[in-house]
Structure 1
Amino acid sequence: MKAIQVLIWTLLSSIFTLILTACSSPAIQQPASAEAQQVQAETEIARADSAQAAASRSSASSNNSNILNEQRLGTKWGDDISSPITQVALKRLSSSPVSETQIRYAGKQFSGRSINSISLAAGKVSFAVLDGRGRTLPLYREDQQYFLSANEGQSYVLKYSNSSAQTYEIVASVDGLDVINGQRASRYNSGYVLRPYSSLEIEGFRKSNDAVASFTFSKPKDAYVAHSASGSIYNTGVIGTAVYELNAPRGTAAPAGRYAPAPNAFPAD
C-alpha cells in the first residue's frame, strides 16, 4: 500500500514539475517579445521619418525667406512703352478686396512647387508674371507664399486673366509703390479695370495717360523706389495685388470664332 502511495506521489510531483517548467520557459514568451520589439522599432522609424519630413519642409520655407543682400533685387524704370488709358466711373461692391496676394522676388533659386500662375477671386482671376517676350516666368509656392527667381536687367509684365462674367479692379504695387501713381502703395488705391472674359497686362510704372516705364529688375540702389520720396529701399523685392469686384453689367463670353465650342459633360444641368 505504501509503495502505491509513493508511486502516486512521485507521478504527481513529476507532473507538477513539468507544469512549472513549461510556465517559466522563455521559449513561450520569446515570440511575443520579438513581435513587441518589431512594433516598437517600426513606430520609432515612422516617428523619425515624420520628424525629418517636417524639418525638411521647415528648412525649405526658411531658406526661401532668407535672402542675402547680394541676392536682393528691385525694379527700375525701363523703356518707355505706349499704354493709353481712359478713366471710368465704377464703384466697388465692397470696401474690402475679395482676394490679395504678394510675390517675393530675388536673384536666387527658390524651392517649392513650380506653378505658372496664382489663382485669385475663387479661381475666376489668374495672375502670372511674363518676361519681355511674353513667356511665363515660373513661380514657386511654399505653403501660402510665392517666390520668383529674377535676373537683373530682365523686363517683366504683370498679367491678369478674367474667366468670369464679373468685372474686377486690380490694384497692383511693386516694391511698395503703387504702379499707377507712384506713391506709397495702399490696397485701397484706385486700380485698373479687368473686364469680363478678358486679360489685363500691366507693363510698367505709369508715367502718363499714354505711357508707362517698363518694369525691369535691377539692383536695389537703381530701383525706382530708391529714388522716390514716397517709398523705401527696404521694400524692394515684392509685388502686391489686391482684387475688388466692381458694380458693372455682367459680361458675356466671347464667341468661339473659328474654333469648335467646348463639349459639355452634363448638358442637362
Structure 2
Amino acid sequence: MKFRSTWLLSLLGGFALILNSCTVSPTDYSGSPQNAIAPSHSEAEAKSIITGGLRSGDSAIQSDSIDAVLKNPNRPGLATGWGDSVHSNVVEQDFVRASKGPAGTDAIYYNDSDGMKAMTTRPESVKPLQRAAGGLVEWGIKGPHGFLPAYKEYGWGRRFVTGKKGSSYSIEIKNRSESTIEVVASVDGLDVMDGKTASYAKRGYLIGPHRTFTIDGFRTSDSSVASFQFSSVMGSYANQRYGNTRNVGVIGLAVFTSKHGDAQLRNNARAFAQAP
C-alpha cells in the first residue's frame, strides 16, 4: 500500500513537510477537512509517538493510586503549555512514504532540575544534539538562549533535557541524509500539527537533504503556530484541552524515508567518487 503525504514547503527559505496518510483524512484546526501545511522558509533552518505508558518516576506507584497522581492539582514538574503565536507560513507538496512504518523513532524526556533528579539515576551530561533513526537525523531541544542542558540516563540510556517554567523552547531537526525525509513529531503525546492524539499515520514535516528545520510550536493555521512553553502540569495544553496528563514530559520523533529516495541517491552517484 502506498502512503502518500503532503509536503509543506516553506515560502521563504528552509523547507519542511506535513504528512497526510492514505488511511487518515487530514483535518484543519477546527476539525473540518483540509489539506496539510508546512512551515516558512524564513525560519531557522516519534514506537508510536504516543508514549502509552508512565514516566520512570511513576513506575513505583501502585496501579490503584495512578489516577490520584494524575489528577493531583499540585503535581510537580514541567509540561508544555500554549504559548505566544509565532509566524510560520506553509505550502503543499506531495511525498510518498517508503513504507507504512517509520525508518526510526526517538524520544527526549524533559523536566525541571528537581524532577530530572527524581526520574534518573546518575545522569551524565551529554551533547545537546543526538542522532536518531540510524543516523538519518540529528535533533535536540533549544531554549531562548541556545540548546537546553542535555543528559543521558545511566543504565537505561534515555535522554533528558532540563527547562524552566515560563520559558519557551523549540525542536531542532537536521536531515543528515541525501534524500528528503518526513518527520512526525509529538509533545506530551499530542501531534504538533493538530494538537490532537499523536500517531504515525498523521502528516509530518518534510526536510530536504542536509537541511535543518525548527518546530516552534503547535500549528494553529497555515501561517502560525502557538509556541511551546514550559508550564506546570495542570497548566499544560494536554490538561487544559483534554484533561489528560499521562504523557506529559516527553517529546517524540518518527522519521519516514521517501519511496523515491533510492532514485534520488542514484541520480547523485559519481563514477569517480573521492574516498571519504
Query: Any stretches of 5+ residues in structure 1 without a counterpart?
Result: 1-63, 253-265
2:234 is paired with a residue of what secondary structure? Answer: helix
1:136, CA displacement in angstroms? 1.3
Percent identity, please. Answer: 34
Residue in 2 that maps onto 1:246: 258
Q: How does 1:16-95 map to 2 (within 5 A)?
A: 65-66=56-57, 70-95=75-100
Q: Could you tell me whether the CA contact under 8 Å between 1:178 and 1:184 is conserved in 2?
A: yes
1:114, CA displacement in angstroms? 1.9
1:188, CA displacement in angstroms? 2.3
Name the structure, 1 or 2, with higher relative contact order (CA <8 Å, separation 6+): 2
1:103, CA displacement in angstroms? 1.5
1:150, CA displacement in angstroms? 1.5
Name the CA distance, whole Å, in 1 between partners of 2:124 and 2:203.
33
Residue in 1 that maps onto 2:225: 212
1:104 aligned to 2:109? yes
Q: Could you tell me whether the CA contact under 8 Å between 2:75 and 2:234 is conserved in 1?
A: no
- Against the structure 1 CA distance between its residues 199 and 227, is the aligned structure 2 distance closer, same or farther, given a 3 Å change threshold? same
Q: Could you tell me whether the CA contact under 8 Å between 2:106 and 2:133 is conserved in 1?
A: no
Name the CA distance, whole Å, in 2 between partners of 1:161 and 1:106.
24
Q: Could you tell me whether the CA contact under 8 Å between 1:104 and 1:237 is conserved in 2?
A: yes
Residue in 2 that maps onto 1:152: 165
- Against the structure 1 CA distance between its residues 119 and 238, is the aligned structure 2 distance closer, same or farther, given a 3 Å change threshold? same
- Residue 247 of structure 2, aligned match among 228, 232, 235: 235
Aligned length: 191
Q: Could you tell me whether the CA contact under 8 Å between 1:168 and 1:194 is conserved in 2?
A: yes
1:170 aligned to 2:161? no
1:187, CA displacement in angstroms? 2.2
Residue in 2 that maps onto 1:198: 211
Q: Could you tell me whether the CA contact under 8 Å between 2:99 and 2:259 is conserved in 1?
A: no
Q: What's the CA shift string for 1:107-135, capped at 9, x where partnerless?
A: 125422422112013223101111124x1
User: What TM-score, normalized to structure 2?
Assistant: 0.63
1:221, CA displacement in angstroms? 1.1
RMSD over aligned CA atoms reads: 2.4
Name the CA distance, whole Å, in 1 between partners of 2:216 and 2:144.
9
User: What TM-score, normalized to structure 1?
Assistant: 0.65
Q: Could you tell me whether the CA contact under 8 Å between 1:71 and 1:106 is conserved in 2?
A: no
1:251, CA displacement in angstroms? 7.5
Max radius of gyration: which structure?
1
Q: Could you tell me whether the CA contact under 8 Å between 1:197 and 1:251 is conserved in 2?
A: no
Aligned letter for 1:105? Y
Name the CA distance, whole Å, in 1 between partners of 2:183 and 2:257.
9
Name the CA distance, whole Å, in 2 between partners of 1:248 and 1:197.
17
Relative to total residues, which structure has the larger helix share, 1 or 2?
1
1:226 is paired with a residue of what secondary structure? Answer: helix
Q: Could you tell me whether the CA contact under 8 Å between 2:175 and 2:209 is conserved in 1?
A: yes
Q: Could you tell me whether the CA contact under 8 Å between 1:73 and 1:152 is conserved in 2?
A: yes
